[in-house]
Amino acid sequence: MKRIAIFSSGSGSNFQAIVDAVQSGELDASIKLLVCDQPDAFVIERAKASGIPAFVFRAKDFESKDAFETAIHEELVLHGVEFIVLAGYMRLIGSTLLEKYATNIVNIHPSLLPAFPGKDAIGQALQSGVKITGVTIHYVDAGMDTGPIIEQECIRITKDETKSSLQEKVHRIEHGLYPRTLNTLFQTS
């Protein structure tokens, strides 16, 4: 059973979907740790409610990215983490963690990459006028949402689509796709 850490900076609905999938037996993994860079994030409450330990930090309390990633790495080792799942973690992973975890870091992004990388992918898709967008799960490399694609699912943008209605569709897809894709990945690696 894969020992994973989930990194999140916000509400953590994907964190919750992964927790629920582990509890229901849909996802064969053990969630060892939440890593969160925002002390007020709601995801911390979700971790508490599920009895999952959290490492919460503020980047500005450290001298450099290398310094906070070294602190994160110590926690990951302490909890025996083998695999990192990014779920709304609003920072680029730096060389310190990339070197240690190499191909064992994945991310979920709310667009069909390589379209609309970076922030506000949902807003970018709406603005652009595309009729199809979606969700991508990919390996993480040093770039912004550039690593090899693992899985994608499409979403149709309707005529009267708003940002919040599209966000809702994206979340609904993400909450099924992420646990399913992780499970397939863990069964084959």
Which spans of this chain sit near ligand GRF (rule: CB under 6 A)?
Answer: 8, 10-15, 87-88, 108-110, 170, 174
Closest chain position to ligand GRF (CB): 88
Whether 109 is a known active-site residue: answer yes
For ligand GRF, give the closer residue by CB, 66 or 120: 120
126: which 2 tokens?
Answer: 């709406």
For ligand GRF, give the closer residue by CB, 2 or 46: 46
Instruction: Give me the torsion for CA of 128, 131, 134, 136, rounded to 10°.
Output: -60
Distance from C-alpha of 78 to C-alpha of 75, rounded to nearest angstrom: 5
55: which 2 tokens?
Answer: 């490492």
Strands (E), the chain: 2-7, 29-36, 54-56, 83-86, 105-109, 132-139, 149-156
| C-beta atoms surrounding 176 within 10 Å | 14
Find the catalytic residue in 73, 79, 109, 138. 109
Q: How far is the CB of 28 from ligand GRF (least distance, A)?
A: 21
Coil vs helix vs strand at 188: helix
Q: How far is the CB of 156 from ligand GRF (least distance, A)?
A: 17
Q: How far is the CB of 184 from ligand GRF (least distance, A)?
A: 18
Asked, as a colleague might, if the bond just before 117 is cis with ω within 30 of 0, I would say: no
For ligand GRF, give the closer residue by CB, 15 or 68: 15
Q: How far is the CB of 47 from ligand GRF (least distance, A)?
A: 12
Distance from C-alpha of 80 to C-alpha of 97, rounded to nearest angstrom: 15
9 burial via Cβ count (<10 Å: 0-12, 13-18, 19+): middle
Q: How far is the CB of 113 from ligand GRF (least distance, A)?
A: 11
For ligand GRF, give the closer residue by CB, 79 or 169: 169
For ligand GRF, give the closer residue by CB, 64 or 165: 165
Which residues are designated catalytic? 109
